[in-house]
Chains A and B, each alone.
Chain A
Amino acid sequence: MSSALFDTVFKELEARNDDIRPSDILLFSEPLRTALNTVIHLSRFNLTEFAANLPFTREEARELASLLVKRNLFELFVADQQEPVYMARLSAMTRPATRPPSDLWKKID
């Protein structure tokens, strides 16, 4: 049975529909934020390294990692069942500038 903390963290991530952008990291609660900061610095890491930064079981960490792959923060680099390896990659499109009135962009192009 999963812990209440794991459920909270999982639901926080599951509630998102968009890719995770850099500014989102600031909004995550602990322990997720610190865990993500750590693996972003590592860039490439295995499940053991990810789980070591979380107060969850290995399988709970694997579930979180799978969800983060869906949210495009992690990429599955080595699909090894025993010890998968991931890459962390902050992604998402920057917010494009809103269109100014008077069709200004065309004058600059």
Chain B
Amino acid sequence: MSKIISIHSFRGGTGKSNTTANIAALLAKDGARVCVVDTDINSPGIHVLFNLDDSEMVHSLNDYLWQKCTIEEAAHDVTSRVGGDIKGQILLIPSSIKPGEIARILRDGYDVGLLNDGFRDVVDKLKLDYLLIDTHPGLNDETLLSIAISNILVVILRPDSQDYQGTAVTVDVAKKLDVPNMIMLVNKTPSAFDFDDVRERVEQTYDVKVGAVLPHADEMMTLASSGIFAIQFPDHPITKGLQKLVEFIKK
């Protein structure tokens, strides 16, 4: 049975897109057929991680929302761009990075129902095992839609006071929307912190399981979104933590 997974955080800069791209790669590495949708229409970026240049985007999510194409026509096969031994397939539905197209969709708005239809159609038509939704930070109708229809919600936060407070809002909303499965990922944790203590604190505060506490790492900063970390650093503690998250998703 297909699973829809939203990756969300209340605040920006927590690592949603990187986490989404890495989860997609790890699932596909094991043979799954995965599609990633970039619903961060205001500030798209995950296409960079998959080495998909703007000039290579035949269609984008924007085109689908303007009903210029079907949702499956906006899906680009990025499997070969990721590197590594991928047994499955990774598809990406990017959002447009053209300033005029971003401005148009902000100015005119769009029917959230089309996004709803698109998520369902792409799972059926592309026979996906997993649909990963990379969301805009914070709460708006698009992120609420993603959360409302997801089988699994991955909530990302940093061990930071602003994140802790904002995440409480996200978790509360997710519980009100009866998300079937929720798991947390604590990202960019300084090495000076006690990781077990961070995990315990977060689990007690939100009453939600923590899938992994990931360290802040120079290797991630140096990679600078030029590729998929888990493929380039398969034995790194970050990759080990992400693999634990993937095991939860696969259950």
Interface class of chain B by DSSP: helix
Chain A residue contacts of B139, Cβ below 8 A: 23
Contact bitstring A1-40, B, C-beta under 8 A = 1, else 0: 0000000000000000000011101100000011001101
Say whether A89 faces chain B, with CB atoms less than 8 Å apart: yes
Q: How far is the CB of A107 from chain B (nearest CB, A)?
A: 9
Q: Are B112 and A22 in contact (CB under 8 A)?
A: yes
Q: Are A25 and B149 in contact (CB under 8 A)?
A: no
Pair B176/A22 contact, Cβ less than 8 Å: no
Instruction: Report if B83 contacts A (CB, 8 A).
Output: no
Contact with A along B50-90 (1 / 0, CB 8 A): 00000000000000000000000000000000000000000
Question: Once bound together, how far apart are the Cα atoms of A109 and B106, in whole Å?
Answer: 12
Q: How many residues of chain A get a CB closer than 8 Å to chain B's CBs?
A: 26
Q: Is the CB of B109 within 8 A of A96?
A: yes
Q: How many A-B residue pairs have CB under 8 A?
A: 81
| A34 close to B112 (CB less than 8 A) | no
- How would residues 186 to 201 of chain B score, 1 for a CB under 8 Å from any chain A CB and 0 otherwise? 0000000000000000
A79 within 8 A of B: no
Asked if B120 is at the interface of the complex by the 8 Å CB criterion, the answer is yes
Q: Judging by beta carbons under 8 Å apart, are B148 and A96 in contact?
A: no
Among A33, A89, A92, A108, the residue within 8 A (CB) of B141 is A92
Q: In the complex, how many angstroms separate the beta carbon of B15 from the nearest chain A beta carbon?
A: 24
Q: What mask results when residues 149 to 192 of chain B are scored 1 for a CB within 8 Å of chain A, else 0?
A: 10100000000000000000000010011101000000000000
A interface residues (Cβ-Cβ under 8 A, vs B): 21-23, 25-26, 33-34, 37-38, 40-41, 43, 72, 89-97, 99, 105, 108-109
The 6 A-B pairs at the shortest CB distance, nearest first, are namely A91-B113, A22-B144, A96-B109, A37-B178, A108-B103, A94-B109
